[in-house]
Amino acid sequence: MKYYIVIPSYNEEAFISLTLQSLISQTLLPKKVVVVNDNSTDKTAEIVLAFAKENPFISLVNKTSENVHLPGSKVIQAFQKGFDTLDDNYDIIVKLDADLILPNNYFERIASIFEKDSKVGMAGGFAYIEKNGDWILENLTDKDHIRGAFKAYRKEFFVQMGNLKSAMGWDTVDELLAKFYGWKVLTDSSLIVKHLKPTGANYNKTARYKQGEAFYTLGYGFFITAIASAKLAMMKKKPLLFLDYIQGFWKAKKAKTPLLVNPEQARFIRKYRIQKMKEKLIG
């Protein structure tokens, strides 16, 4: 299967060579890799061009945007910039972060997952972070969720959902829409991806409110938002984030912020979320 990769990047000189090295070392090489240099002020572009010189399937696209790192919108706008340079002669499209080390067989396994089951719409491995010299499972990783750092989509599903949403919550709404359209979301726990710079470390207060806004735009409603907010705040070991999330939800509701989904999809999402909560309570 042919796969294309788009890598949004901003000041990634410390990590991007490791990511690109792991890509050119794959047992199943990508057909195209587009790195989007989003207004970097370091040597990110130079590093990418050095790799591109030796590996013709790698290319660089420059983009200018604001330096403010609001989660979701900035990275997906960069992704879109890179995606727009590609043709449609692919089977799998991949959104990849610029701070990852992938096992050499990563995309061979991912391609195999898609080949073996035509109903798989998304696939990915598990994210690990370094702590005290050991690589441990990132706490936001689980078997039902593919981390936004490494998303692989079957072309048919990617087209059906209308590309990625340029807003926080993009890496949740894609999986929910996969369920809505009847696609499977599969993870392979044996594919250990080293995440060198976990996301969220530099988000400001405004960005934290964005999580609550994201819950609103996913069509969750207040009840599901409250539960999801409490769970996420505890997973991040910052209980007071719950208040930020709830405040963000009410701000979005008051402002009548447009949803990322249509009414039918929102109803499905609420029903699906409640069903998953019941399953966890029972068992």
> Which pair of tokens denotes residue 160?
């059906």
DSSP line for 234-247: HHTT-TTHHHHHHH
pLDDT score at 206: 66
pLDDT in tens, the chain (283 residues): 999 999 999 999 999 999 999 999 999 999 999 999 998 999 999 999 999 999 999 999 998 866 555 566 789 999 999 999 999 999 999 999 999 999 999 999 999 999 999 999 999 999 999 998 999 998 777 788 999 999 999 999 999 999 999 888 999 999 999 999 999 999 999 999 999 987 654 455 667 788 999 999 999 999 999 999 999 899 888 899 999 999 999 999 999 999 999 999 999 999 999 998 888 887 6
Count each helix (H run) and each strand (E run) in the chain, helices first: 10, 9
- Tokens representing 237 are 């070991």
The tokens of 77 are what?
Answer: 């706008």
State the Cα–Cα distance between residues 211 and 208, nearest whole angstrom. Answer: 6
- Paired strand residues for 151: 95
In one-letter notation, the amino acid at residue 215 is F
Task: Find the radius of gyration of the CA atoms of the chain.
Answer: 18
DSSP secondary structure letter of residue 163: S
Chain center to CA of 144: 14
